[in-house]
Amino acid sequence: MFDREAYNKRVEWYQDARFGMFIHWGLYAILARGEWVRSTEEMPEEEYLPFFDEFDPVDYDPKKWARAAKEAGMKYAVLTAKHHDGFCLFDSKLTDFKATNTKAKRDLVAEYLDAFRAEGIKVGLYYSIIDWHHPDYPHYGDRIHPMRNCEAEKDVERDFNRYLEYMHGQVKELCTQYGKLDVMWFDFSYDNMRGETWRATDLVNMIRSYQPDVIIDNRLEVSGEGFGSLATDNPNVYSGDFVSPEQIIPPQGIKSESGRDLVWEACITMNDNWGYCAKDKNFKPASMIIKKLVECVSKNGNMLLNVGPDAKGNIPEESMQILKEIGRWMSKNGNSIYGCKGSSLPKPENGRITRNGNKLYYHVMENSIGGVPLFGISRDQVKSVRLLADGSELKISDSWMASNYPDVVFVDISSTPYLPDEVDTVVEITLKDAV
């Protein structure tokens, strides 16, 4: 039986945090063609293994990553403990295919957890339930395995239950050997590989026995394109705690079948790849990411923004610059993000609205002529109007032009054609009563 009260308590911090860092990192950083390189190029294991001997992230300093995340205003982070290639950044006792056996000779997950916790950032681990390295994971005929078309693999006997024991064992290691985890991010179900194919009920019950407060995504049941039973009134044990749309922001947010707002998180890349891709310079500008973060919150969602460190352990300079620019905006306007959700007021033409209790945050992304209209509220509801960035009072306009529209509150934000913040100027309206 689904415990709604326990669920609501579990996700409370997560809905306050709103903004996190995703980190995709592994052997594939050496190839620098993205984390799916083995699958897309149908690369045999023997061609991939030499990179294991080469892996030596001499610049890896998770304290630097954690500082960058904190300065950007991120409240939680998720690192790929193991991706689809099966390579483990942690010291698993169940495999030799791990960072401690490379030139690194370090448990990279343990160092990440220590560094981010030290900055007060909630910590999460990504774990791929897919594994292209394990001999008992389906090869030939699987839709995405690198050896899916290799005839030599056609008649090889494999014991999927043996793989499941391995996978469950590694998740247990992560849940029992690394302290309190705030997020477990599984990836991903597909075709008939979903739900109980993974022995998902047993897996989640085991996780909850060791990490009762951990937040789990919905991909034991579905992939990025599905909502799963979390969207019903009686979710499965393995439905997870949040929906995980990928590379898209839901047009209207996400609601359950009965109309309840669902907890969701849009995971977004800065460029076009999750893992490091040297030739991919198609980075989204910081201004766009800020506006999209605001859009997520205005629709009751989170944003998990990805970085893909290179083979030496450096977050690309373009990503670091974007994080700094986001951080500058967040340092002044974070109150319009943290602890906020959407408003029942209609979306204004010039931006978006977020709210927290009796405070409305109008995100003004386009200036107006004759005062900026704040639709949906009346003068007698307003206690104060402030520019969030510096706390300065904004006067409600008494101009003769505005007098034709007594049902609309106009404020004078700028004496020039330009907004104080060209990306997103946030007006904080404190109402006399909560909305």
Using CA atoms, how far apart are residues 60 and 105, in angstroms rounded to an integer? 12
The residue-averaged pLDDT of 36-44 equals 98
The residue-averaged pLDDT of 392-404 equals 90
The residue-averaged pLDDT of 137-159 equals 97
Whether the pLDDT of residue 98 is over 80: the answer is: yes
| Rounded (10°) angle between helices 317-333 and 286-298 | 50
- Range 343-431 classified under CATH 2.60.40.1180: yes
Query: Looking at per-residue confidence, does 1 or 302 come out higher?
Result: 302
Give me the percent of the chain exceeding a pLDDT of 90: 95
Numbered ranges of CATH 2.60.40.1180 in the chain: 343-431
Answer CATH for 4-334 from 3.60.20.10, 3.40.50.2300, 3.20.20.80, 1.10.3720.10? 3.20.20.80
Instruction: Please tell me the predicted confidence (pLDDT) of residue 245.
Output: 97
CB atoms within 10 A of CB 206: 16
Q: How confident is the model at residue 144 (pLDDT cuts 50, 70, 90)?
A: very high
Numbered ranges of CATH 3.20.20.80 in the chain: 4-334
Q: How confident is the model at residue 399 (pLDDT cuts 50, 70, 90)?
A: confident
Instruction: Please tell me the predicted confidence (pLDDT) of residue 16.
Output: 98
The residue-averaged pLDDT of 275-288 equals 98
Instruction: Please tell me the predicted confidence (pLDDT) of residue 41.
Output: 98
Q: How confident is the model at residue 435 (pLDDT cuts 50, 70, 90)?
A: low
Whether the pLDDT of residue 225 is over 90: the answer is: no
Tokens 């477990």 correspond to 184
Whether the pLDDT of residue 281 is over 90: the answer is: yes
Instruction: Please tell me the predicted confidence (pLDDT) of residue 434.
Output: 66
Using CA atoms, how far apart are residues 186 and 207, in angstroms rounded to an integer? 12
Distance set, CA 188 to CA 105, 128, 274, 310 (Å)? 29, 7, 15, 24
